[in-house]
Amino acid sequence: MKLSLAIVALALAIPTASYAQDSTAVSNGAYPNTFSSGSANVSPFTNQSKRFNDWSISAGVGVPLMQSADLTSIKNGNGKNLFGYSAYVSIDKAITHAFGINLQYDRGETRQGWFNTKDAAPDGSAVGARTQYDAISLLGDVNFSNLLRRVDNHSPYRWALHGYAGVGTLAYRAYQKTSSGQMLMTEVKPFKLGSMFMQAGAGLKFKVNRRIDIEGRLMYVVTGDDEFDGGGDAYSAVNKRSEQVSDNFFNATLGLSFKLGKHESHLMWHDPLQEIYYKLDVLANKNQDIEVCKKGDADNDGVCDDWDRQLDTPAGARVDGAGVALDTDLDGVIDLYDKCVTVPGPVENNGCPVATTGPVVETETKLEGIEFDLNSDRILPSNTPILNNAVNYINSSNGSYSVIGATDTRGTDAYNQKLSERRANNVKNYLIKNGVQSGKINAIGKGEKDLKYPECEPATKCPEWKNRANRRVYFEAK
């Protein structure tokens, strides 16, 4: 019977030990994907992506002491302090940093009654007994230290309080000895309905190193059997001494745990909160040298050359987000040199209109700065100030103008031609709606045939700001 239990325990232990080694984390490149946010390097949880060891083997020896029985070894009138012996071995699997499952095999002998059965009975009324037992149980393991301990990343984490509870199957042979001699009173085989038992308790672990832990445990075993102590059947004289229906005992043990795997740390010794606080401290104390402008800022306009669209901005000129000097009235004179910032005027007159008795006459001019989002003909709010200035400028001029729409090189020629026409017509309609005479403007679409930056063919050759500049509407005097 004992040999069969040992074989079962060994058969369960071999496959678990075989898979105890794990490898370092490796991302297979499948994540991030279209179903993830793409904001983190996410990898599926596999045996290759684990960071911690989560298997261990534990073994220990101890002393069982009967606590609740008809023949007991704790002094309550039915016996003396008679100590037995026990041993255990278990395969331990950590599920999380605070919970695990242990498959445990126990073997031992309890001693109870008025005298040790190795000795002769002192008198005719004295009764002694011993019980040899084998047990297999499945225990839940709760790491209370990881659940309850305070976060303190300045002290080493070497002690841990564990709680255990579980059920299993119990096989035993109970012997009773009197002045008449010793006899086998009860024998229970394993894996029977009446052989089920429970045990629960606590253990204190000390981390010796990354491979070995020392643990002291105190377990309470509930056999569920009134005949475990060797008192005989339920109606025998011995079993009538107490109304207890279950013979129970304490089992104090001292053991070692051997952690398996390739990683530096075991999951049960890992505290996620501690790791978070450690990383925050590292970030707080780390000096990061951030290089903002790799190519510098040659014109000192506050816009890095990496995305500056005008690398020779005059000193003191105000610029937009792309580093282009501002020209509020779109008269071709930047605000730095324009003495009439809000009123268009020729370059020869420092951007101010020439005093005349009639409207301003322009033989040739070009108004730019109206850009569009990709695949869109919608007039953006940022374009309205430019268009409002264009209304004033066109109305003050005797000339007529062409509103010309253009696109970047994405899409087919036919599609881009229609898109450019829609852009030009939208701007034309906006100008007419805001007071421009319809006879002074007409709309023309040039598609991708009129690129401001011809080198952007195809679009992938250029940065996005150049492609955006190609998606535009501008004005030309007829």
Find out whether the peptide bond into 156 is cis, omega within 30 degrees of 0: no
At residue 213, does pLDDT exceed 90?
yes
pLDDT band at residue 90 using 50, 70 and 90 as cut-offs: very high
- Predicted confidence (pLDDT) per residue in 115-141, tens digit: 999 899 888 888 999 999 999 999 999
Quick check: helix, strand or coil at residue 427? helix
Gap between the Cα atoms of 383 and 237, Å rounded? 105
The 10 Å CB-count burial string (b at 16+, else e) for 238-275 is: bbebbeeeebbbbbebebebebbbebeebbbbbbeeee
pLDDT band at residue 83 using 50, 70 and 90 as cut-offs: very high
For residues 241 and 70, is the Cβ–Cβ distance under 8 A? yes
Query: How do 401-405 and 441-445 pair as beta strands?
Result: parallel
Find out whether the peptide bond into 32 is cis, omega within 30 degrees of 0: yes
In this prediction, residue 152 carries a pLDDT of 54
Rounded to an integer, what is the distance from CA 375 to the centroid of its chain? Answer: 38
- Predicted confidence (pLDDT) per residue in 69-78, tens digit: 888 888 767 7
At residue 382, does pLDDT exceed 90?
no
Distances (CA, A) of 308 to 221, 335, 451, 474: 78, 18, 19, 21
Burial of 415 (0-12, 13-18, 19+ CB in 10 A): middle
Say which residue the tokens 């990061």 belong to: 288
In this prediction, residue 291 carries a pLDDT of 66
